[in-house]
Chains A and B, each alone.
Chain A
Amino acid sequence: MNFKQILQQLDVLAVCKRYGLSLWQCPQFLFLVMGVVIIATALITYALGTRYIADPVTVLLIVFALTIILFILTFSITRSLEGLAEANRLKSEFISIVSHQLRSPLSNLKWALELLMSGRFGKIEGKQAEYMKILKDNTGRMGELVSDLLMVSRIEQGRLPLHKTEFSLIELAQETIAEFKPIASASNVKIELDVLKDLLPKVFGDSSQLKLVIENFIDNAVRYTKDKGIVKVKIEQRNKKLYLSVKDEGVGIPKEDQKHIFQKFFRSSNVLKYQTRGSGLGLYIAKSVVERSKGKIGFKSEENKGSTFWFTIPIK
């Protein structure tokens, strides 16, 4: 936190307004009042102590009254913090309910379109087929977005437990790469798997959630490679962990955006220029999965040169 940010935090009225809280429900304001009361208490106690030293009962009563005020203030602060936590919980719950509600119409749409496009009820051709495809692609996009939102709300509510098993990271990577082959070759991108040693130990974690992480890395690498390029997936052992990295020759991440890259809904400025797709949730989900699996996640990136995203995962 730099000096400017500290100053901004000190502007209590602005902070409370931004949270949309009234002053007596705003922790920042209450802390400020408490500070003032504590200082006043110290000064008054001193003044009383020196002047009314012969009448300890009065001193006691006044100090007692001040302590009660402090107690009430502390209680209000606790309540206001509870209010904030509750608001956060409600937000996650809201996302969860809305996403679930969106899923039913999306499934109806998806399957109805699939049925139309399957040609079971007459062949769809030419322009009609083109527009059907647009409908289908965008329904798919919406579906992915809703899935990501649900995942985030589950993470935030602590309702995404890991089902840990022992599994081969190499096999998981091979499986994921195979799924991406058609999309990659359609955009002239080659995906290579580089495993230094064939005999790597198995890792311990939730394979279906870690698959999401690998998918996210490869998806980003392919998506942000302009024209043609190579995406290199590397797996190696580092101490008691396996290390997996995905390196691309894509657009890279501008320096000023790098510190926000794992934040929820963050999308890099240059990515917005090239592509509008993406929710800004993938890397946030990836970080949560890796960290809960007792691994680490990180990246190196240079604008216009490419990025390397990596994670580690413990060996059993």
Chain B
Amino acid sequence: MPKKILFVEDESALQKTFGDVLGQEGYKVVSALDGEMGLKMAKTEKPDLILLDLILPKMHGFEVLKELKEDETTKDIPIIVLTNLESMGDVEKALELGATTYLVKASYTLEEVVTKIKKALGE
């Protein structure tokens, strides 16, 4: 069974790019376009990993992260924050709330992000 990745991101261009790449890498990608939907899908889809943007419609990524880590059924899913916010305060807050890794979009290539995803999945 392919591992499932939930991508919470409101930019549909990125949904497509990552969907294609991760699909080719053999993962099943499910998309959520806002924070609320992301939270709901994390519970129903039971993904192996969540890629989470921070600036999201309806619910901020930090809130999604907090609720996921407080919920018994989702607290063990590794979460990679993938955002363009890069202040130390945001990085620290995300890691404190339980994010596995924090990636700033502007600083990483696609291949590097894929490598980080594999690492977080223990591959």
Chain A to chain B contacts (Cβ below 8 Å), 29 pairs: A100-B84, A103-B84, A103-B105, A103-B106, A104-B84, A104-B105, A106-B106, A107-B11, A107-B14, A107-B84, A107-B105, A107-B106, A108-B13, A108-B14, A108-B17, A111-B110, A112-B13, A112-B17, A114-B110, A114-B111, A115-B20, A115-B110, A118-B111, A120-B21, A121-B20, A146-B106, A147-B106, A159-B87, A161-B88
Spell out A's residues near B (CB within 8 Å).
100, 103-104, 106-108, 111-112, 114-115, 118, 120-121, 143, 146-147, 159, 161, 163
Q: Which of B24, B88, B106, B109 is A114 in contact with, Cβ under 8 Å?
A: B109
Give the most central of A100, A107, A120, A143: most B CB within 10 Å: A107
Contact B17 A104 (CB under 8 A): no
The chain A residue with its CB closest to the CB of B53 is: A104
Question: Which residues of A are found within 8 Å of B106, using beta-carbon distances?
Answer: 103, 106-107, 143, 146-147
Question: Which residues of B are found within 8 Å of A146, using beta-carbon distances?
Answer: 106
Flag B77-109 by CB within 8 Å of A: 1 or 0 each.
000000010011000000000000000011001
Question: Which residues of A are found within 8 Å of B24, using beta-carbon distances?
Answer: 120
- Say what secondary structure dominates the interface of chain B: helix
The chain A residue with its CB closest to the CB of B12 is: A108
Question: Which residues of A are found within 8 Å of B20, using beta-carbon distances?
Answer: 115, 120-121
Q: Measured between alpha carbons, how far is A118 from B112 in the docked complex, in Å?
A: 13
Q: How far is the CB of B20 from chain A (nearest CB, A)?
A: 7
Q: How far is the CB of B62 from chain A (nearest CB, A)?
A: 17
Q: How far is the CB of A117 from chain B (nearest CB, A)?
A: 10
The chain A residue with its CB closest to the CB of B86 is: A150
Contact A118 B88 (CB under 8 A): no
Question: Which residues of B are found within 8 Å of A111, using beta-carbon distances?
Answer: 14, 17-18, 109-110
The chain B residue with its CB closest to the CB of A146 is: B106
* Number of residues of chain B lying within 8 A (CB) of chain A: 16
Q: Measured between alpha carbons, how far is A306 from B24 in the docked complex, in Å?
A: 50
Contact B110 A163 (CB under 8 A): no
Q: How far is the CB of A244 from chain B (nearest CB, A)?
A: 24
Question: Which residues of A are found within 8 Å of B18, using beta-carbon distances?
Answer: 111
Question: Which residues of A are found within 8 Å of B17, using beta-carbon distances?
Answer: 108, 111-112, 115
Q: Measured between alpha carbons, how far is A227 from B109 in the docked complex, in Å?
A: 31
Contact A118 B110 (CB under 8 A): yes
Question: Which residues of B are found within 8 Å of A143, using beta-carbon distances?
Answer: 106
Q: Measured between alpha carbons, how far is A147 from B13 in the docked complex, in Å?
A: 21
The chain B residue with its CB closest to the CB of A116 is: B17
Q: How far is the CB of B23 from chain A (nearest CB, A)?
A: 10
Contact B21 A115 (CB under 8 A): yes
Give the most central of B18, B87, B88, B110: most A CB within 10 Å: B110
Given contacts A112-B13, A115-B17, A143-B106, 13 further A-B contacts (CB under 8 A): A100-B84, A103-B105, A103-B106, A104-B11, A107-B105, A108-B17, A111-B17, A111-B109, A114-B109, A115-B20, A118-B111, A146-B106, A159-B87
Q: How far is the CB of B49 from chain A (nearest CB, A)?
A: 18
Q: Measured between alpha carbons, how far is A112 from B88 in the docked complex, in Å?
A: 28
Q: Measured between alpha carbons, how far is A107 from B107 in the docked complex, in Å?
A: 9
Question: Which residues of B are found within 8 Å of A104, using beta-carbon distances?
Answer: 11, 84, 105
Question: Which residues of A are found within 8 Å of B13, using beta-carbon distances?
Answer: 108, 112
Q: Which 4 A-B pairs have the closest CB atoms?
A: A108-B13, A107-B105, A103-B84, A114-B110
Question: Which residues of B are found within 8 Å of A120, using beta-carbon distances?
Answer: 20-21, 24
Q: How far is the CB of B98 from chain A (nearest CB, A)?
A: 22
The chain B residue with its CB closest to the CB of A208 is: B88
Q: How far is the CB of A114 from chain B (nearest CB, A)?
A: 5
Q: Measured between alpha carbons, how far is A111 from B20 in the docked complex, in Å?
A: 12
Question: Which residues of A are found within 8 Å of B105, using beta-carbon distances?
Answer: 103-104, 107
The chain A residue with its CB closest to the CB of B16 is: A112
Q: Measured between alpha carbons, how far is A114 from B111 in the docked complex, in Å?
A: 9
Q: Measured between alpha carbons, how far is A106 from B17 in the docked complex, in Å?
A: 13
Q: Measured between alpha carbons, how far is A32 from B31 in the docked complex, in Å?
A: 64
Q: Measured between alpha carbons, how far is A17 from B14 in the docked complex, in Å?
A: 47
Question: Which residues of A are found within 8 Å of B109, using beta-carbon distances?
Answer: 111, 114
The chain A residue with its CB closest to the CB of B109 is: A114
